[in-house]
Amino acid sequence: MITIASAMQQEEIKALLESYDGGDFTYKFSQKQGIKLVFEVTGDKEEAAKKAKELIKAQPWGSVLYFQAAAV
């Protein structure tokens, strides 16, 4: 499980991660806890959190977004 903490762009983050098709990870939105989005992941949790961070930062809106990605 990983969490993405972000006050903004939550719907975009959910759509981005759930549509990721890189083969090494899958992300499934589980629940929202305050500003944290919780995702179930396949594969290594630490690597999945790093990849999620890369994917978000690669978006036009992600480069200026303040957020945290962490393995739980």
Q: Which domain holds residue 13?
A: 2-71
Q: How many domains does the chain have?
A: 1
- pTM, whole model, 2 decimals? 0.93
What pLDDT score was predicted for residue 7?
Answer: 96
What is the Cα–Cα distance from 72 to 68, expressed in whole angstroms?
A: 12
pLDDT at position 61, please? Answer: 95
Query: In terms of DSSP bridges, do strands 2-5 and 68-71 run parallel, antiparallel, or are they unpaired?
Result: antiparallel
For the packed helices 10-18 and 45-57, what is the interaxial angle rounded to 10 degrees? 120
DSSP code per residue over 8-62: S-HHHHHHHHHT---SS--EEEEEEETTEEEEEESS-HHHHHHHHHHHHHTSTTG
Per-residue pLDDT at 22 exceeds 90: no
Query: pLDDT for 45-64, tens place per residue?
Result: 999 999 999 999 999 999 89
